[in-house]
Amino acid sequence: MSRLLAAALTVALAAALAVGAALGVVALLEATPDQPNTPLITYEQTGQGS
């Protein structure tokens, strides 16, 4: 019975750790600001009739 209790506690601890890690990742993603949508490369527009 002791091994069963140890296994159950291990499973419960692993599940709590996984949920905590998932919530931490979500919190970190929510905390990062949105990046501006500016292009890295811009091309100059030239006249079409030349």
Q: What is the pLDDT of residues 35-48, one digit of tens each?
A: 788 888 888 877 66
Beta carbons within 10 angstroms of residue 26's beta carbon: 10
Q: What is the pLDDT of residue 32?
A: 74
Site of tokens 């990046």:
35
At residue 49 the predicted structure's pLDDT band, cuts being 50, 70 and 90, is: low
